[in-house]
Structures are given as structure tokens and as C-alpha cells.
Structure 1
Amino acid sequence: MTDETPRPLRADARRNREKILSAAVRVFAEQGLDAHLEHIAKQAGVGTGTLYRNFPTREDLIEAAYRNELARLCDAAPDLLATMPPREALRAWMGRFIDYASAKFGMAEALRAVVSAGANPYARSHEMILAALTSLMDAAGDVGVIRSDISAADIFASLTGVALTSAKPEQRRQAERLLDLIMDGLSAGRT
């Protein structure tokens, strides 16, 4: 009987994988679906063999890059709560959400190609984001710094609206102002 569980990656292999995924997000956002995988490997500082060993197809790379961005966003919630007060952690996470949305929009063409090929890179995205946002809002609510009558789903919808209107890099200052407005509206004591 063989063990079907994949072995954990060595530290250098894990670093290479992360570099490839980060480069893929940047390059697909800049060049769209026509981006050359060899260019992504070069930007990551790895050989094309390393890229293809990790991601045999373009679709594998696109889906993994998107899922990596999603995981980075969601995994940030407990880290932020461990290092800053809950209100500040929530606000910092909102900024990261805009970063995630910017990457997602930049990769939109490439992600559409993955969906057309039959994959669903968005599976569980909504639930994962809501879980991270709920943990942040619960922590802030527990110490009484945000209202308790606003749901994570409402804030997610608000963040999505900010992302749709202000996720481009040149709109970042506007996005930050809009996030501050959301935080003002969440302030405890408001009705």
C-alpha cells in the first residue's frame, strides 16, 4: 500500500514555488493571457524546468497563483490579530483585500481561460474570505470597537464595491479613503 499524501516540499523548493506564483500574478496582470511562461520563470529567478515541474500547464499556474493570493489574504487574519489591536487588524486586512482584488482583476483574462477549460479557481473563495473577515470582526466586536449589527457579508459586499471602483494602482488613495469610511461606519456607538 502506497501513501498518496504528497511529501512536503523542501525549503528551497517551497521558496521557488512562492517566487513563481508571485511572478505569475505580476506578469499575468501586466501582460494578460499571452504572457510567456519562460518570462515568468525568468522574473521568478528560476529555470523553466522548475516552473514546469511545479505547474505542468498554463492553467495549473494561473489557478495556483490565484489560490495563493486568496490564501495569503485569508491567512493574514490571524497574523494581524496576533500583532495589532482588533480594529487596526481589521483595517489592515481591508487594505490587503484591495491588494488581492487588484491581483484578481489584473489576472481576469487568464482566470477566465481557466474557467473556460473547466476548472473553478473560485471554489470556496467566498467562504474563505467570509471566515477570515468574520474572525476579524468578531475580535473587534468582542472588545467593543465596532458595531455588532453589521454582518461580515455586508462588509464583504462593501469591500467588493470599493474594489470594483478603486482597485487600480492609480486609484489606491481613493480606495484607502473609502476603506476609512467603511471603518467609520463600523465604529461602535453608531446607530
Structure 2
Amino acid sequence: MNDKEKAAAGLLYHPCGDPRLSQARQAAKVTLWQYNQCDPRDDARRQRLLKSLLGSSGEGLCIEPPFNCDYGYNIHLGAQFYDNVNLVILDCASVTIGDNVFIAHNVGIYTAGHPHDVARRNQGLEYALPITIGNNVWICGGVTILPGVTIGDNTVIGAGSVVTRDIPASVLAFGNPCWVAHPLSPQDDAHDR
């Protein structure tokens, strides 16, 4: 089993041990550099660059630069995806995000982690666990989402949260570590009236 296959299986792997992984990261960096330097008025070029980088994406894709990721091909975005500035996705495993998802500024989505055992960590080993974010989710500013997490449909993750475990559908969750405050209801939008 090569390192790419180990990563996909959630096993420890060496990210620099397989030249194909190193080449894929380098190719992503080149595309990201072009995207992040692109004239903001040239939406057609921005869309072409994103489509060439990502594994898949729906209609209405908008990622405000700067944007950074490891590979790009492990990122799958639904329709009407919007992200504000400074999104980082470490996509060593699959990152699947549903339709109508809004992500605020300075959010990190990290599939990669390292062993707690110092000897294995010092060997440069890491693991990667997939992340899934449902439909109609709002991720507020400064949120960190850790490996293996699933966030259910219609959920709001409050600003500055560190999401260390699964969050169910249709709730407001926040904190470090992120916890469910309560189910969402129409009263949650009272400030919008």
C-alpha cells in the first residue's frame, strides 16, 4: 500500500514519502498562487482555476482569496458555496461540504493529524480522517474543524469554536471544545427583525 492509499484508509503515512503526493501538493500550490494573485475582476479565470483545483463543486461557487489547501482534489463542494477570506483546508483526506454552506473568515478545516507518540511523530508520520459538513450550514469566523468530524445539516457553529467531535443537525454549537448549546428555532433569529 502506497502512502496515498494509506492516507485514504486513515492509516499512518509519510506525506513526503511518496513523490506523487509531493508533486500533487506542488501543483496545488502553483494553482493556489495563481488564484490568490488573480485580478478580482476576472471572475471567469478565478472560476477556471478553482474548478481545475477542486475534486468537485456545484454552481454558485465563491471562495474569497486568499485560499490555501494541500491537494484540492479531495475537496468536494456543493452548490451555492461561499467562503470569506483566509480559508485553509488541509485535505489529506476527503472534505465534503453540502449545498448552501457559508463559511466566514479565518476558518481552518484540518483532516490531518500527527501521532501523540513522539518517536512516530518525529518520523514525519501523519494520519488523515475525512470531514463532512452538511447542507445549509453556517461556520462563523475563526472556527477550527479537526479530523474526522461530521457537522449535520442546518447547523450554526459559533465564532472561535474548535470542533473536536461530531455536531448534529439543526443546532447552535459553539465553544472550545465545541458543544451543542440548543436546537435552532425561529427565536434564534430575533435579532434579524
TM-score with structure 2 length normalisation? 0.26
- Say which structure is richer in helix: 1
Q: Determine which structure has greater relative contact order: mean sequence separation of CA pairs < 8 Å that are 6+ residues apart, divided by chain length.
A: 1
Specify the structure having the higher radius of gyration (Cα): 1
